[in-house]
Chains A and B, each alone.
Chain A
Amino acid sequence: MADTIKLYPPKPDKVYFYGTCLIDLFYPDAGMAGIQLLEREGIEVVFPEDQTCCGQPAWTSGYHDEARKVARSQLSLFPEDWPIVVPSGSCGGMMRKHYPQLFRDTPEAPLAAEVAGRVWELTDFLLNVCHIKLKDLGSPATVAMHTSCSARRELGLAETGPRLLAQLEQVTLAEQVRPEECCGFGGTFAVRHGDISGAMVAEKVEALTDSGASTFVTTDCGCLMNISGYAEKNRKPLQGQHILSFLWERTGDKPEGSS
């Protein structure tokens, strides 16, 4: 894939928030936290009601007709030229990098390219567009960080998570072995190649627990449910959280409407 030069926009008054299906169904707290972090920066957050899924599961499974139909239903949700922020490297990568591929040779190609150019992963957006300054209100804590492969490699965001965490005065980032290695999620890969995925997540959990931290944060809910799910099933002393939930809890109140 051709690398494109990334030009950050000036901090906008409004953004579209694309919540992703995993956050919608399994981790709405992380979505609320992301929205509240943006609002605290003085940005009005618009949540298009007709959002469902970016289409990535079908895309990576090879069902491109189906992926295109779903993605097509999402393309029209962002009519204003506001940035589209996504609390996930994986879905953000799909929209930013793969929409142009998915809509190649279709009438929607120009629109897909235009939308793709406005998509920002949320930690990147907070750090490099909002220039957020976090004030840590929590007690001393040590956490490990797992940056998803899509955030790290597809979007080149290996450092944004750690840099946000570094702003929290009471938080120490634990060192782990092979931080750049995949946790083994990979969407349907985890089911199609269960043995391999299982071996990968086992070693990721070992690396995270060996770091000395009992909590890890991550940019992506796929990695989160994979790593936390393994730790829980195998009774490992490791709790996971989306980095946005963690940042919000350390610097503000609990997400509104949280149970």
Chain B
Amino acid sequence: MSQQTGASPSDVRQFHPRARAAIENPKIRRNFRSAMDGLMSKRRNAFSGWDLEALRDLGAAIRQNALAQLPDLLEQLEAKLTENGVRVHWAEDGEQACRIVLDICQARKARSVIKGKSMVSEEMDLNHYLEARDIEALESDLGEYIVQLAHETPSHIIMPAIHKNTGEISELMHEKTGTERSDDVEYLTASARQQLREKFMAADVGISGVNFAVAQTGTLCLVENEGNGRMTTTVPPCHIAVTGIEKVVPTLEDVTALLALLTRSATGQHITTYVNMISGPRKTEELDGPEEVHLVLVDNGRSGIYQDDQLLDTLRCIRCGACMNHCPVYTRIGGHAYGTTYPGPIGKILMPHLLGLDETRHLPSASSLCGACGEVCPVKIPIPDLLVRLRQESVNGDQLHPARVRGHGSKRHAGEALAWKTWQWVHAHPAAYRMGTALASRFNRLQPGKLGAWTRFRTAPRLASKTLHQRLKERDS
């Protein structure tokens, strides 16, 4: 773990100091602002000429439909994959998923693993788990490779090294691999590719993520741009795919709409350079492909989310990253400040379920509820509504709808609760409200000039000398 920017599990409690440090770091501010501006504009262009609202409606409907029959689809997926020769494993949490991967590796006496990009494996902290057991795990996605060289964690779910500019990457590669310093992206990429090629050929096991798992056909879909996903899943003799249980969809037809939304929302591409459709191990008459394919289906808190009709919407996510690209908070603080596997708006609504609301108590409030995330979400997850729900959960704020997320109520403090009770009393008693506000306006010169964090950046708002209530009363009398 890097001391500076990489996240460790306990860092999520340190959200405030980390956010502040990021805001005061001009390099982080510049790197994220320019990257996010670019991604927003690419997305806009990619959807131009499309009926985006209709496509988002379709995407939302496909995901809702899939989630509505999730248990059945998972059973169907398992049966079909098994028929195709893929071995299916179920993991309740990250630890168990790591154990499953380790067992597969050890049974094959594997010493080296090459990895395609997988956020679920980040969730599992798989690399450290394997390395602690003498199995080398090397990231082959260029961004992940850079992040791994720097002993950091991804700062974005699609572009893991987006917090670094070319100069920083060049310096890092020079220091760690002896690559000549260069500001030529092509050169740096070719150099990394060269080093990775050798590792691909020598790897005992390839580990990848999954974008969509198709129940009807038992197909694992994987999109990527570098060919590393194709290599990871075909060159080593054994391929292990890891994914969350929510990634399953009924049919291949469902994938077409989701794919159109995913690549455009994520990077503004009409399609990625590679779209892998993995349907099983090498057959006897085939010349290449792995002899063994496994799928590890990871729950890790997801079935808990599934129990709640509103929170369920969280599971629609197809991990495009558009919510973070458009988030004014993420743009200011970058991905590492969150201290979580998934940063940005999706992280704020997903991580509380994975880590508990006590650990993540600062996340749901770290939003102005501007709605930019919900507006661009390709599957229409009502992210602002879910943030409000989690705020309620974190203070146990609704007796009619009791909180249920693990660690709920951890943000409730007697002082704040009393302040809201007082606020409620005043505003639910109109006569008292009128008297109080009239008095405050009458003595508006006495109002405090300092109002905590507000006046660190702004002047205090000034009470008018007469309220609108008073003005109208005078006018109409």
Contacts and interface: CB of A to CB of B under 8 A. Distances in A.
Interface stretch (A114-122, A184-192, A241-249): A184-192
Contact of A182 (B365, B368, B461, B475): B368
Given A26-B461, A256-B475, 17 more contacts: A21-B427, A23-B468, A50-B430, A58-B420, A62-B411, A63-B424, A69-B428, A70-B423, A104-B401, A182-B372, A196-B19, A197-B368, A199-B29, A201-B457, A229-B457, A229-B461, A230-B457
Most buried by B among A62, A193, A230: A62
Contacts of A24: 437, 467-469
A111 interface: no
Interface in A163-203: 180-182, 184-202
Given A149-B372, A197-B368, A200-B368, A25 B427 contact: no
Contact of B459 (A65, A150, A184, A229): A229
Contacts of B370: 149, 153, 181-182, 186
Given A196-B333, A225-B461, A233-B458, A62 B393 contact: yes
A52 B423 CA distance: 11
Q: Which of A52, A200, A202 has the most CB of B within 10 A?
A: A52
Contact of A57 (B16, B423, B472): B423
B372 A153 contact: yes
Interface residues of B, number: 74
B30 interface: no
Given A195-B23, A230-B457, A182 B366 contact: no
Interface of A: 1, 19, 21, 23-29, 31-32, 35, 47, 49-53, 55, 57-66, 68-70, 72-73, 101, 104-106, 149-150, 152-154, 180-182, 184-202, 225-226, 229-230, 232-234, 256-257, 259
A54 to B, nearest CB: 9
In the A-B complex, the 5 residue pairs with the closest CB atoms: A186-B368, A194-B453, A229-B458, A62-B391, A182-B370
B368 A25 contact: no
Given A24-B437, A197-B457, A200-B328, A62 B388 contact: yes
Nearest to B57: A3
A73 B427 contact: yes
Interface of B: 16, 19-20, 23, 29, 328-329, 332-333, 364-372, 374-375, 382, 385, 388, 390-395, 397-401, 411, 417, 420-421, 423-424, 426-430, 433-434, 437, 440-441, 451-472, 474-475
A65 B398 contact: yes
Contacts of A150: 371
B57 to A, nearest CB: 9
Given A24-B437, A186-B369, A229-B459, A196 B332 contact: yes
B457 A193 contact: no
Given A65-B397, A182-B370, A233-B459, A193 B365 contact: yes
Contact of A66 (B23, B368, B424, B471): B424
Nearest to A177: B37
